[in-house]
Amino acid sequence: MSKRSLLVLSMVALLGMCAIVAISSAQTSPVMSSSSPAIQGAAGQPSDPPKEFAGRCHHRHSLEAIQKKLGITDEQKPKIRALYVGFKDRTRKTRMDLMSLKDEKKTMLLSAKVDQQKLTQMDEQTVKLVSDLLKEKLKLRRDRLALMTPEQLGRIADWQAEKAFRSKWRGMHGGQMHHRGW
């Protein structure tokens, strides 16, 4: 086997592994978790709604619609917003470090000069940063739930039950609702 074909083969293998890592990290990303959008999203900017609201079909619920559905009061809105702002402030360095690592990794791959030891260190650092970010996100969710009234918690529970039922229905029917005899 020539050096050139060996180089091409190893590059294809590396790109394949990177694609697998990207897909698995997207599936386990704390940003796209499976809990209710009401529990996840607090306050987004109108021009860029939070990714937490993206569902399986990439429909985005508006913050206003979620607040209305849950019955969020005018008194609760600034408290929820303050929690979200605090989360963004506390996680800013972690998020920036994570973006920097991803950029550095991409640059390394594009330059075709892959240092396995450096790549391993970068992966370990990414795992640590994502873990730190997830801890803060879970704290944000707990804090938001603490602001909810019992009626609002009941609505969230109903929402979760509906979501679980739809998920189970899709699983039993191949992902689509079939209308027989129509």
Query: Which tokens go with 136?
Result: 């803060």
pLDDT for 76-115, tens place per residue?
999 999 999 999 999 999 999 999 999 999 999 899 888 9
Q: For residue 24, what pLDDT is reported?
A: 56
How deeply is 114 buried, as exposed, middle or buried, from its count of CB atoms within 10 A (0-12, 13-18, 19+)? Answer: middle
Q: For residue 75, what pLDDT is reported?
A: 94
Q: What percent of the chain has pLDDT over 90?
A: 46
Angle, in degrees to the nearest 10, between helices 116-147 and 76-111:
170
Give the integer Cα–Cα distance in Å for 16 and 28.
Answer: 18
Q: For residue 42, what pLDDT is reported?
A: 44
Cβ atoms within 10 Å, residue 143? 17
- CA 91-51-39 angle, 5° bins: 80
Q: DSSP character for 46?
A: T
Q: For residue 93, what pLDDT is reported?
A: 97
Q: For residue 112, what pLDDT is reported?
A: 86
Alpha helices in 73-114 (DSSP H): 76-111
The low-confidence residues of the chain, meaning pLDDT below 50, are 28-59, 181-182
- Which pTM was predicted? 0.56
